Chains A and B, each alone.
Chain A
Amino acid sequence: MEELGLIKEALSGDRNAAQALVETHYQLVFSFILRMVADTQLALDLTQDVFVKALARLRTYRGKGKFSSWLLSIAANRVRDHWRRAARQPGGANVDVFSLAGQDDFTQESVEREQVRLALAQLSLPQREAVILRFYHDLSLAEIAQVTGANLSTAKSRLRLGLINLKELLGGEGNV
């Protein structure tokens, strides 16, 4: 069944349609959140929150723009909300940066993976959002602006600054 059909069915109370929507978009939301928070368990919990919230407010989805973008905007808000709360607790907001997952292999691949993960984790939240949405989810600047609730020029400057910082963190040279 196509996406719009599933949404209509879910709105009319069909739990199977709602579950199918979750299964279709789970990886998208989970991967976005995981790259934002760099903690698998936290990402799983936040992904659950996002879907519960999205399905409870499915009526507010007007059909403007992609459903996946709508879900990503809820996810972005949930992540921001998480960091706001974490920032109020002593040391809470920095948990993601150096909380290396139990690395027991040191292959070239895993080292590079960790380099990118740590570099992303050190970007500011808006810059990280912009970079992740652009490069991992292939969103256009207009879509990034829509998902993050920023205007186009702000989204553009966040992406640009994010790439400049990423370049420095990954030890690159020249203009990004």
Chain B
Amino acid sequence: MSKEIWRDPDGGREEYDRLKGILMKYNVPEVQGKELEGRAVSIMANLTLVEAKSQWRQRVLGRLVTLLIFGAVILAFYFLWGKGLPMW
């Protein structure tokens, strides 16, 4: 690779373009057409899975919180009056 390429007394835009020219030699493959569509579909499927997991976690957490509150109320009645739940 030419050593001259790094020399630019003025710098600025010209230097930027020159550096870009060197770096752009490292091109990457284009993902397009059917492959792109396939990747996008796969991402959407993964997203569905992640959302389902998150909803399931929230549901379980919600039930746990409800159970804890219910248990705390029963315990409160038990320790305050020693009678368990009131019978009204």
B85 to chain A, nearest CB (A): 42
CA distance A172 to B7 in the complex (A): 8
In the complex, chain A residues whose CB is within 8 Å of the CB of B16? 135
A100 on interface, CB distance cutoff 8 Å? no
In the complex, chain A residues whose CB is within 8 Å of the CB of B50? 52, 56
Decide if B42 touches A112 in the complex (CB within 8 Å): no
CA distance A134 to B15 in the complex (A): 13
B83 on interface, CB distance cutoff 8 Å? no
How many of chain A's residues touch chain B, expressed as a range? 35 or more
A113 on interface, CB distance cutoff 8 Å? yes
A93 on interface, CB distance cutoff 8 Å? no
In the complex, chain B residues whose CB is within 8 Å of the CB of A15? 44
CA distance A167 to B50 in the complex (A): 44
Decide if B19 touches A135 in the complex (CB within 8 Å): yes
CA distance A52 to B32 in the complex (A): 19
Q: Which of B1, B19, B32, B46 contacts A48 (CB 8 A)?
A: B46
Decide if A120 touches B26 in the complex (CB within 8 Å): yes
Decide if B26 touches A113 in the complex (CB within 8 Å): yes
A90 on interface, CB distance cutoff 8 Å? no
Which of the segments A22-30, A65-73, A146-154 contacts the partner chain?
A: A22-30
Given known A170-B1, A171-B1, contact A116–B39 (CB-CB < 8 A) = no
In the complex, chain B residues whose CB is within 8 Å of the CB of A135? 16, 19-20, 23-24
Decide if A22 touches B40 in the complex (CB within 8 Å): yes
Given known A22-B40, A167-B6, contact A56–B47 (CB-CB < 8 A) = yes
CA distance A115 to B25 in the complex (A): 9
Interface residues of A in 118-160 (CB under 8 A from B): 120, 131, 135-136
In the complex, chain A residues whose CB is within 8 Å of the CB of B27? 113
Instruction: Identify the closest chain A residue to B54 (Cβ).
Output: A56
14 contacts between A and B (CB under 8 A): A15-B44, A19-B43, A22-B43, A26-B36, A27-B30, A27-B36, A30-B28, A35-B28, A48-B46, A113-B25, A135-B23, A135-B24, A170-B6, A172-B1
Q: A51-B47, A136-B24, A170-B1 are in contact. List 12 more A-B contacts (CB 8 A).
A: A22-B39, A22-B43, A27-B30, A27-B32, A56-B47, A116-B22, A116-B25, A135-B16, A136-B23, A173-B6, A173-B7, A176-B6
